[in-house]
Amino acid sequence: MKLKDEYTQLLSMYRHRWNLKDNGDPMVTHSSVLQPMVWDGNNVILKIALINEEKQGNQLMVQWNGHGAAKVLLHDDNSILLEQLSGETALFQMAQNGEDDQATKILCDVARHLHSVESSAKLVLSPLKQWFNELFKAEEKDKALFSESASIARNLLESQINSTVLHGDLHHQNVLYSKEKGWLAIDPKGLYGENTYEFANLFCNPDHHVALIPGRLERLLDIVCNQTGIDRDRMLQWIVAYSALSASWSIQDGMDAALALSINAQALKLLS
C-alpha cells in the first residue's frame, strides 16, 4: 500500500516514540490509520486518529481502561496503542451460523459493562441531539420518507432517561474475543445520551441476510428487553429513530439504504 507522506511520517514518529516494530500492512480510512505492531514482545495495534470523532473514541478507550473494551497500553492526544485481540471467535460468523441470539446476548453484556464505567469530567463526548442532525437535514429534503421517524427521534431526544457514556457504534464487528478476558469492544464513537440508543444498532446488523430474516426483529426485541430491562415500546422507538438516522447516512454517502429502511418500516409497524 502506498501511503501518503504525512501518514508515513506519523507512523515513523510513533515507531521511534514508542519503540514499535511493524507486524503487518497498514490500513487507512477517512478517519484513522491502523498499523499492526510489536511492542515489548506483544502484538498490538497502533491507531492514529485523523478526525476529532476518532480522537474522542480513542480517549474513551483510555477511560474504559480495559473494562469491557480492549486495553490501551500507551496513548497521547491523537493516538492509542491497543492490545491486539485474536478475533478467532467472531460475532459476525456466530450470527450467520445460527447463533444470532447468543451473539445478541453477548453484545448486551458488553454494553452493560461499558455503561457501568463512571465518566471523567475531562472526557469530550458528542450529545445524541447533535448526533441526529443528519436525520433532521434529511427530513427537510424528503419529508415523506423521514418525517414520522424524525418526529419520534425528537420526542426521544427531549425525554431521555438513563443517560450515560455510549460506545455509539456497538455491533458485531466492533466486539472481539480475547481468550484471557472474553468479549471486548473496540472503535467507539464517544457519545452521551440515553442508554437505549446503544442497542438500536444491533437490529440493523450484522448484514442484510441476517437482519431481514422474517421474525428476527421481534425475536431480538424480546432478547434485548429481557437482557436490559428496557421497555419494549421505548426500544422500538429508538430502533425507528436509529434506523432512519442510518438510512440518512447511507443516502448522504450515496450508498444503499434498503436495509435500514426495511428495519425502520418493521419497527414503525410494530409501534402502530
Q: Which three cell numbers stand for residue 172?
A: 458485531
**Would the CA dihedral through 59, 62, 67, 72 be positive or negative?**
positive
Question: Euclidean distance between the first and final Cα of the chain, in Å?
Answer: 51
Q: Which three cell numbers stand for residue 226?
A: 429481557
Strands (E), 77-188: 79-83, 126-127, 163-166, 175-178, 182-185
Check whether the bond before 206 is cis (ω within 30° of 0): yes
- Let me know if 231 is a catalytic residue: no
**Which residue type occupies 112?**
R
Q: What is the phi/psi pair of residue 215, to 5°?
A: 85, -5
**Which residue type occupies 179?**
K
Strands (E), 40-159: 42-49, 72-75, 79-83, 126-127
| DSSP per-residue codes, 27-61 | EE-SSEEEEEEEETTEEEEEEEE-SHHHHHHHHHH
Q: How far apart are CA 120 and CA 39, in angstroms?
A: 28
Q: Which residue of the set 109, 169, 253, 256 is catalytic? A: 169
Q: Which helix (H) or strand (E) holds 227?
A: helix 216-228
Catalytic residues: 169
